[in-house]
Chain A
């Protein structure tokens, strides 16, 4: 039997969540759909393919305070940032939830990143299966699925009578406490994500193509605008700096991108990745080679955001195919 939550019941459940927690949900903002805190159900966008920005910023904000420093005479007090707010995310897509779980690799690796860990602990994720994968989507090729419930606390799948409910974790069960679910014999089904990207064996292929001129050719058209990193659910590089405001000092971290000029420039001026080719290679080798070597999964979940956002059509799906092709040639000794 399938547990069903009616549309009206979903709305009143979300309204009750908003009373004592921050509810973050997809919201239409001008031409975009973005995860935003919402104060009423009317603000929530239920009809969307995916948000323009990934929900990683709910765990890894664009700008996050690490600690504050206060000076009193000759004394100095350092106060670490603490995340107190309980947050519920409604409408996270399975690919994005997988992106968050993927980033547990580096961020919870010892010594754990305390802010990431706190955000994770304070957040409950209500996933929404994709009933209409977008043309740029390729999550199935990357090992997930439009109804993958592995990385959310609760997964909802739209059906005629409302939403089929799959309770995945104890946290999800707590959030659903007291919510009345109907039983039904409807079988929730979602279409598969059809784009076929040959990701199998990509780690080995990428390694073989590392020194190929492919990268600099590809980078010729890159304008290092960094949009790929900002929309990506698994890009996690950052910068750390201080911000001051009338005697108050905050050490903050901000998003940064490996495509930025000077990303690796060291004191004295030497930059091991001074040209665009080596920087672009870094982006794809991080996702397809280093990340899986270090943490297991690929650093791409197939959300397709970079595909639509890139102004010069650098397309990770094509790159994966190209690398496979080039890698196979190296294997045959004809390159």
Chain B
């Protein structure tokens, strides 16, 4: 415990990097893909798949969003933003050229290098698929480094499936299977109509030399976990990224804690082995 706080100038960790909105693309009726460019360049903004940042809609506030771009592709900082609250509503009003701010990157990441040589199962529901896109694109850009890949993307309706423009690229990748599912189809939908946990049970991915990565609403994560366990997956083979109400990303506001762990600093990426040690339910 310090007696006198240090006199040296400490940078204000709440001040974002000024950024400019480069492009906005509609992904679904309520999700837009924003590409931002930091005004000072991205040399000091090195991020990995699974990390997140706070994006500002000045005048309204800021909110934490998963980075959905893969840094090595140098396509700018991308965020898939679903319109749900005041900040995301304000972001949806912005047009290219708008000034915004980015604070981050925060949190840990999916250790994709540790998964080298393994079969990878990637399961995402709804907007929960956004932080998995950089995992997919990092793995597929280093395709030889991994064994079989299964991607399962689910959404409420066919219109709500994110990143449809990239489905062909993913499916065309060697030893890669892309499976889509929706809760409710429409007249043009010939694909699966089923809940993600049920599709997992149907596809029966083998736990042998495999890592399963899940992201989605908490209820989907819980039921999918149950199915994977029934298939023989051990807790340490299942990885997820959690969501938490957050105001700082710095371990200070104490909004995102699950027991003594912070989603923002200790996570957001956790194995189920770690989650099984949590005192509190996420």
Contacts and interface: CB of A to CB of B under 8 A. Distances in A.
A binds B: yes
A270 B13 contact: no
Nearest to B253: A238
Contacts of B253: 237-240, 256
Interface string B77-104: 0000010110010000000010101000
Interface in B1-39: 1-7, 10-16, 18
A253 B281 CA distance: 28
Nearest to A241: B61
Interface stretch (B188-196, B204-212, B231-239, B240-248): B240-248
A71 interface: yes
A267 interface: yes
Interface stretch (B67-75, B163-171, B254-262, B269-277): B254-262
B14 A286 contact: no
Interface of B: 1-7, 10-16, 18, 56, 58-63, 82, 84-85, 88, 97, 99, 101, 127, 217-219, 243-245, 247-248, 250-260, 279-282
A1 B99 CA distance: 65
Given A104-B1, A111-B250, A244-B59, 14 more contacts: A74-B99, A101-B1, A109-B252, A111-B11, A121-B5, A236-B254, A240-B62, A242-B58, A242-B59, A265-B245, A272-B280, A272-B282, A285-B259, A290-B257
27 contacts: A66-B12, A66-B14, A67-B14, A69-B58, A75-B99, A76-B18, A81-B12, A102-B1, A105-B1, A111-B13, A112-B6, A112-B13, A113-B13, A114-B13, A118-B10, A171-B4, A210-B279, A236-B254, A238-B247, A239-B247, A240-B14, A240-B253, A242-B58, A253-B14, A256-B253, A290-B259, A293-B260
Contacts of B245: 263-266
B14 to A, nearest CB: 4
A108 interface: yes
Contact of B244 (A118, A258, A266, A278): A266
A117 interface: yes
B2 A108 contact: yes
- Name the residue among B1, B2, B62, B99 with the largest chain A CB count within 10 angstroms: B1
Nearest to A119: B5
B242 to A, nearest CB: 10
Given A104-B5, A242-B59, A117 B255 contact: no
A314 interface: no
Nearest to A243: B59
A74 B11 CA distance: 26
A311 interface: no
A58 interface: no
Given A106-B252, A272-B281, A80 B217 contact: no
A207 B279 contact: yes
Contacts of A80: 11-12, 14-15
A74 B97 contact: yes
A240 B61 CA distance: 7
- Name the residue among B15, B97, B99, B281 with the largest chain A CB count within 10 angstroms: B15
- Name the residue among A81, A238, A251 with the largest chain B CB count within 10 angstroms: A251
B217 A268 contact: yes
A277 to B, nearest CB: 12
Given A80-B12, A106-B252, A111-B250, A121 B7 contact: yes
Contacts of B59: 242, 244, 249
Contact of A109 (B16, B62, B251): B251
B254 A264 contact: no
Is chain A's interface secondary structure helix, strand, loop, or mixed overall?
mixed
A253 B59 CA distance: 14
Contacts of A108: 2, 5
A232 B78 CA distance: 41
A67 B18 contact: no
A330 to B, nearest CB: 14
Contacts of B101: 78
Nearest to A112: B10
Interface in A164-183: 169-171
A78 B15 contact: yes
B255 A268 contact: no
A129 interface: no
B265 to A, nearest CB: 10
A300 to B, nearest CB: 15
A117 B10 contact: yes
A214 interface: no
Contact of A258 (B58, B243, B254): B254
Contact of A270 (B218, B247, B255): B218
Given A67-B14, A268-B84, A294-B260, A263 B4 contact: no
